[in-house]
Structure 1
């Protein structure tokens, strides 16, 4: 439930109710009502709550925590191994089924691609073929892994 997510994440972050309230821009009493389940935050408060509690907006809205205790680097290494041994359609189908914040995921991919290549998927129709090819080749080199 939402109230449980708010309390658990606040305690994990070692924050006081008043600190969360101040960050979000509400009174401590308002935040306390959210954490006690008497009221729920407005949509305009969700982004700030997610930011300070270090969870996704979807986790707040759904009142459940998706994240695991797995170390992020261990998670990325394991996913990379699966990606090497699964075809793209299967891999992306599983991503689609498991990612709760699909828009956020796609926005982050677009932002990261622009950071790495100076263009994103939304720009591909305007990018010269040689630039696309260079980006693909650079990515292939970066993705090469030691077979042992």
Structure 2
């Protein structure tokens, strides 16, 4: 596989080099949500889809946290690598992993212990709370996976 030089290669080549993986990543996340919706719709019905949609903002929050730490650390690391400061780049990498891990642990624990309150805040009612709580537990326990996947 050839190396990509951001400063010397053609802009279109660089653009498409990063465009295709970005599109694939977004497509995989969209397919995951679509398949999840189809399976829940077939297995549980309309009530299950409403529970899924009530808790879906948390999935987006987890993705956003992963992207935030990943992109932020990537920029800092690339900048330091570009000026030849490999040691500082490695420190940014370790720091970003520690920070995203800490935020993930805190967010997961807060979510686990306040799942019912969070469900009501997101729009659950007495008719849907059981399904929202059930689906929410899966999302909350999978938070580290969602965050780290996007990190």
Task: Point out the structure with the larger helix share.
Answer: 2
On whether the aligned pair clears a TM of 0.5, the verdict is no
TM-score (norm 2): 0.24
Greater relative CO (CA pairs within 8 A, separation 6+) = 2
